[in-house]
């Protein structure tokens, strides 16, 4: 790896002290290093313009936490560039390098002592009756969440898999997660923890108003369709489809979202020999 591109969460490194320290270290080692200079707003969220990356960038360094890396992965999904997360907060599953261990981490990285895990992503397409083509679409590394918007009322929706009706829910929503996202909102909602290298999708209802509240594990080849129906009281519903906690799409009664595996993956640079189970154990012990 010769050219690195740094994306910094400015709330966690406001003076770019750590960012510049990494840049100077890489330059001293004879490497090229670019820092994201232009920050724009995309639907209320800071994002990275993929057009600003040079073609010879070999690795994207993300300073912040798992949320920052998720945003970067979504923004740069069309580029085949791996990510290394530098955690400036609490222990993360994606941003596994702590700021106190950066020198050792970069020593391994520059020596070629790393692996790249290609993580599965989701692709969601939103449709509205009477409109020609897709209303909106986006990718997600962690999850796509369908949840109520504004109102405290439960929402009603039907799920089909590969065109075959599966179940009708009255719930606060549903989470469709990748293995990487299984340790996020899916876990908080009672869903299973999945090894991030696996290839599958997990659908977990959020606070369902029935005894049928189990998660459903599906093949990566499956296509999930979620149809927003009329409310239980006969009212029209308005909900949100949220991609990795940032990209949001408003859906109404009659709209549907189709979720499948994306043809893109996210490459995560792995430097530590600490296994996923060890990290999971630490998180459980910390209660975080």
Query: Annotated active-site positions, please?
Result: 66
Q: Both tokens of residue 231? A: 């409310």
Cβ-in-10-Å burial (0-12, 13-18, 19+) of 152 comes to: exposed
**DSSP code, position 191:** P
Pick the closest to residue 58 from 86, 22, 33 (CA basis). Answer: 33
| 44: region left, alpha or beta (phi > 0 left; psi from -120 to 50 alpha) | left
Contacts of 244 by beta carbon, 8 Å cutoff, 6+ apart: 70, 71, 73, 74, 140, 141, 142, 143, 144, 181
Cβ–Cβ < 8 Å for 58, 267: no
Q: Both tokens of residue 71? A: 């945003």
Number of CB atoms found within 10 A of residue 188's CB:
11
Rg (CA), the chain: 20
Number of CB atoms found within 10 A of residue 24's CB:
11
Dihedral angle sign, alpha carbons of residues 95, 97, 98, 99:
negative
């Amino acid at each position: 790896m010769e050219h690195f591109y740094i994306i910094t969460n400015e709330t966690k490194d406001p003076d770019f002290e750590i960012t510049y320290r990494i840049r100077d270290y890489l330059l001293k080692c004879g490497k090229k290093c670019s820092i994201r200079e232009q920050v724009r707003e995309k639907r209320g969220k800071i994002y990275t313009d993929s057009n600003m990356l040079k073609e010879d960038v070999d690795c994207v360094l993300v300073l912040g936490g798992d949320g920052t890396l998720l945003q970067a992965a979504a923004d740069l999904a069309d580029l085949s560039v791996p990510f290394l997360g530098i955690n400036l907060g609490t222990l993360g599953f994606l941003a596994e390098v702590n700021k106190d261990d950066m020198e050792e981490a970069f020593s391994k990285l520059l020596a070629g002592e790393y692996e790249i895990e290609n993580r599965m992503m989701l692709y969601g397409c939103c449709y509205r009756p009477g409109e020609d083509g897709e209303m909106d679409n986006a990718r997600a590394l962690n999850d796509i969440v369908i949840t109520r918007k504004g109102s405290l009322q439960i929402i009603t929706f039907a799920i089909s898999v590969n065109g075959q009706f599966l179940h009708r829910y009255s719930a606060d929503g549903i989470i469709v997660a990748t293995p990487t996202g299984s340790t996020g909102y899916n876990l908080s909602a009672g869903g299973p923890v999945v090894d991030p290298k696996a290839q599958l999708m997990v659908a977990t209802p959020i606070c369902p108003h029935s005894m049928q509240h189990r998660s459903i594990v599906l093949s990566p080849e499956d296509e999930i369709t979620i149809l927003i129906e009329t409310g239980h009281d006969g009212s029209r519903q308005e909900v949100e489809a949220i991609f990795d906690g940032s990209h949001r799409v408003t859906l109404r009664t009659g709209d549907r979202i189709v979720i499948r595996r994306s043809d893109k993956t996210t490459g995560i640079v792995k430097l530590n020999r600490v296994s996923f189970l060890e990290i999971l154990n630490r998180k459980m012990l910390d209660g975080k």
